[in-house]
Structure 1
């Protein structure tokens, strides 16, 4: 989950290598539907040829996809949109008032993602092709009508096909009696109610040493209690190290905790001592923070995070830590001032109140999950095929469980190592969800055993996507041979 940009092309290259094996799987299993992610640009025509119904499932929100326009615009984007300034203003096809746009440092990243990389394709091209034309019949996404519904209507206009929000997929807090949680809970129990800032920058953000230093010193300067989940990347990323400022942990001992291994985020957010969430603004973290009514302190880095941060500020459910618009740098003072504003000063009350109000939407699991179209009498066989990032894998897994609860059959398809890292299937759904392992293609530039974004540096990502595309034939054979498959 922690990656460096230079590895991302290789992961995408490997992902593309799944094409043949996936094709065989689809030929063998003949499902009714297949739900697929943004990366397999080659998959919709294969599924259409096999007579399988097709849906693109976007694990994030409507405004991110709508910001980039129609599928035709995305497919041709690398030639037509190659300047950062084009992404720094609200887009011309958005006909309602909005402040959703990228800062320059974010827009520079988007421009780079818009160019063809070593996987052979840009992310814009991939996303456009999986939605384009009759090969994609419907768009599902992790959104709900109760929050920013104008973007859902805009998506239908842009893509001229049904757009169905499956809900926010609000997670459930599971029981956890592990020693790690016992230690964390003991520390949280010793803090005052709603006094702690939980700090976590997600699974795909690898801050630089300067960024880590400024964040650490800013938290210290604020004097506000904090719990910081600061995990080193996967063992395959050997070059990355986490070095905190000299003496930092000793100086904050008792009121500041740095946890350098996996942390149970939902359990922490559900604890009474937590009052705010300093987050990179990934959509899952956005949802999870507001599920518990915590105001959000936004520190975005890449992809959708900047747009999410603008929404956070616009809805007044939190604030964004000021950054240099040119390079994205921030200072310990900007971190400290932001934390104190929302946690200590009277001005922060309006943000805290707004965040609590939002928990009525984000924390209402039944309402958030009822806006889907899978509850029907006909029992379907649905194939789920997510991208190789754990945020994607887990979102597809959560949707798989929800669809299986309705009585449908699920084939969850990924690579061996990713399948082995999934949470356990609930006992009552074991007979409804089948985990299907496709052999991951070898790509020379990828580290040994790297099968997900958590395993590689970001610059190798195109190679992961290229390997992923190599699954096409095996998946096609699976679909052809799988009898009675309704949905892909």
Structure 2
């Protein structure tokens, strides 16, 4: 790609599991000659890696102060600092950024805006990111914005009627109960997650999915029918590492873990991820530690630094 290939504006959700991938992708775009504006909250900018010096002329942070709302603790600007039931207040505060973000968009006039569906009002400003199988399961825009075909938890425990080929994509009942509430219940912000997601898709000109047609062709084709707009598969976007295997670009606190992994035999390690949003209770941490100890299997050991652990 030649230099000066347009201007992309990044607006990730206030969770590091979203901000970090957005940040890494921003660096890739900037390295290709794309100018990138990364909208973020000041405290979160301090917790992100610095912009590499060689990209400083094509990538910059745009700071926006998070408005105060009732129910949101002071100086809290990311999901990692909140319990699950408090996240609705962070969404409400994020919605209060509509006017300042509108001013930024109208002033900077980006060629492309990449954003999380929590910011479902972005398409409305611009015109004035799941697997294909998961997106297809969530359904057409009309069902997301105003559910009528799925109103009970058990409706989410089976493949929906609009998937017209054999599919095993469905939630277990205990998961379905939560997802039904999540997508239909309007929280303090006045919107449900389903409405946010549907309004976002409704206002987009196209949808890009991190998948490939060799893997999910039927679901990608179905999404084009459900959304009535182009659906692009962008591949799996694997992370890039230096050719010499140097881990100097990796956060130093993870270096020992990667060094340990490098010494293991192929196919000898099992990775278990709990998700960036899961706050594991102390009781479950103790149960997990006891199970690992009882397994008598090798693994990296972390020195005890403090008595309290908030998450793994």
TM-score interval, normalised by the smaller of the two chains: 0.5 to 0.7
Match of 1:150 among 213, 218, 227: 218
Q: What TM-score, normalized to structure 1?
A: 0.42
Instruction: Quote the residue 1:111 is aligned against.
Output: 180
Instruction: Quote the residue 1:18 is aligned against.
Output: 97
1:71/1:219 Cα in 2 relative to 1: closer, same or farther (>3 Å)?
Answer: same
1:10/1:225 Cα in 2 relative to 1: closer, same or farther (>3 Å)?
Answer: same
Tell me, in whole angstroms, the C-alpha distance in 2 between the residues paired with 1:199 and 1:170.
19
1:185/1:20 Cα in 2 relative to 1: closer, same or farther (>3 Å)?
Answer: closer
Tell me, in whole angstroms, the C-alpha distance in 2 between the residues paired with 1:161 and 1:228.
50
8 Å Cα contact 1:39/1:127 also seen in 2: yes
- Helix, strand or coil: the match of 2:214? coil
Instruction: Quote the residue 1:96 is aligned against.
Output: 165
Q: What TM-score, normalized to structure 2?
A: 0.64
Residues paired across the two proteins, number: 226
Instruction: Quote the residue 1:131 is aligned against.
Output: 201
Tell me, in whole angstroms, the C-alpha distance in 2 between the residues paired with 1:213 and 1:207.
10
Match of 1:5 among 77, 80, 84: 84
Instruction: Quote the residue 1:29 is aligned against.
Output: 108
Tell me, in whole angstroms, the C-alpha distance in 1 between the residues paired with 2:163 and 2:211.
18
Higher mean C-alpha deviation, range 205-214 or range 177-186: 177-186
Task: Note the C-alpha offset of 1:229.
Answer: 8.7
Instruction: Quote the residue 2:62 is aligned against.
Output: none
Instruction: Quote the residue 1:213 is aligned against.
Output: 286
Instruction: Quote the residue 1:140 is aligned against.
Output: 208
Tell me, in whole angstroms, the C-alpha distance in 2 between the residues paired with 1:24 and 1:117.
27
Map of 1:311-390 to 2, 5 A cutoff?
none
Instruction: Quote the residue 1:425 is aligned against.
Output: none
Instruction: Quote the residue 2:247 is aligned against.
Output: 176
8 Å Cα contact 2:141/2:198 also seen in 1: yes
Residues 1:242 and 2:309 are matched in the alignment: yes
1:139/1:193 Cα in 2 relative to 1: closer, same or farther (>3 Å)?
Answer: closer
- Helix, strand or coil: the match of 1:35? strand
Instruction: Quote the residue 1:315 is aligned against.
Output: none
- Helix, strand or coil: the match of 2:247? coil
1:32/1:181 Cα in 2 relative to 1: closer, same or farther (>3 Å)?
Answer: closer
Tell me, in whole angstroms, the C-alpha distance in 1 between the residues paired with 2:174 and 2:296.
29
String of CA shifts for 1:186-220, please: whole Å, max 9, x gaps. Answer: 54466555433334423111123343333333333
Map of 1:433-452 to 2, 5 A cutoff?
none
8 Å Cα contact 1:196/1:224 also seen in 2: no
Say what the alpha-carbon RMSD is for the aligned residues. 3.0
- If each structure's strand is expressed as a fraction of its own residues, which one has the higher value? 1
Instruction: Quote the residue 1:222 is aligned against.
Output: 295
Instruction: Quote the residue 2:31 is aligned against.
Output: none
Tell me, in whole angstroms, the C-alpha distance in 2 between the residues paired with 1:230 and 1:69.
46
Tell me, in whole angstroms, the C-alpha distance in 1 between the residues paired with 2:229 and 2:85.
36
1:230/1:10 Cα in 2 relative to 1: closer, same or farther (>3 Å)?
Answer: farther
- Helix, strand or coil: the match of 1:130? helix
Task: Note the C-alpha offset of 1:138.
Answer: 0.7
String of CA shifts for 1:51-105, please: whole Å, max 9, x gaps. Answer: xxxxxxx1x211111111100110002x653311010001111111111100112
- Helix, strand or coil: the match of 1:140? strand
Task: Note the C-alpha offset of 1:47.
Answer: 1.3
8 Å Cα contact 1:71/1:129 also seen in 2: yes
Instruction: Quote the residue 2:118 is aligned against.
Output: 39
8 Å Cα contact 2:207/2:231 also seen in 1: yes
User: Structure 1 regions of 5+ residues with no counterpart?
Assistant: 50-57, 233-239, 244-259, 262-488
Instruction: Quote the residue 2:33 is aligned against.
Output: none
Instruction: Quote the residue 1:484 is aligned against.
Output: none
8 Å Cα contact 1:71/1:131 also seen in 2: yes
Tell me, in whole angstroms, the C-alpha distance in 2 between the residues paired with 1:210 and 1:154.
43
1:221/1:131 Cα in 2 relative to 1: closer, same or farther (>3 Å)?
Answer: same
